[in-house]
Amino acid sequence: MALRMIRKCLWSVVCAFVLVTVFTLASGQCEGLEITIEVAPNVLNTQNHGEYLTVHTDLGFGMVNFDLPLYLLVVNVENEFYNKTIAISFTKADNRGNLVVKCEMSDVEDVVAIGFNKLRLTGTTTGGVLFWGEQTITVR
């Protein structure tokens, strides 16, 4: 009984931490480790349905704390605050050992808008440091 109560309390603390982290990063008040991301394709044609949107990073795969959520957000569409989450299908390490994030194109198309869209990848390192990186893509 006590163990169940401790788990519920711990889960509440983790959820609160994640929510504060996401809203802080989404509001543009980013502190922590800024990483470089490269989104491919950087121009999305909604008429040509590719399989995945890929986000390449300069952050080592082993530095990512996968016990805490990793988010890909659309935070800015044509200079308007937006804040929609894109589901991450899977992650992997590239041939340099850096984090690569894959999202199904249908999930991306559900949340982006025609025009310029700023994407932000956020997460936490194994050392507990928040990391984030942004890139603007074009959707046609």
* pLDDT at res. 49: 74
- For the chain, the DSSP string reads -HHHHHHHHHHHHHHHHHHHHHHHHHTT---SEE--EEEESSEE-TTS--SEEEEEEEEEGGGB-TTS--EEEEEEETTEEEEEEEPP-EEEE-TTSEEEEEEEHHHHHTT--SEEEEEEEEEEBTTS-EEEEEEEEEE-
pLDDT tens per residue across span 75-99: 988 767 788 999 999 999 999 999 9
CA dist 107 and 84 (Å) reads 11
Query: Which residues of the chain fall short of a pLDDT of 70?
Result: 1-30, 79
| Residue 107: per-residue pLDDT | 94
pTM: 0.76
pLDDT at residue 37 in the model: 98
For the chain, list the domains and their CATH numbers: 2-139 (2.60.40)
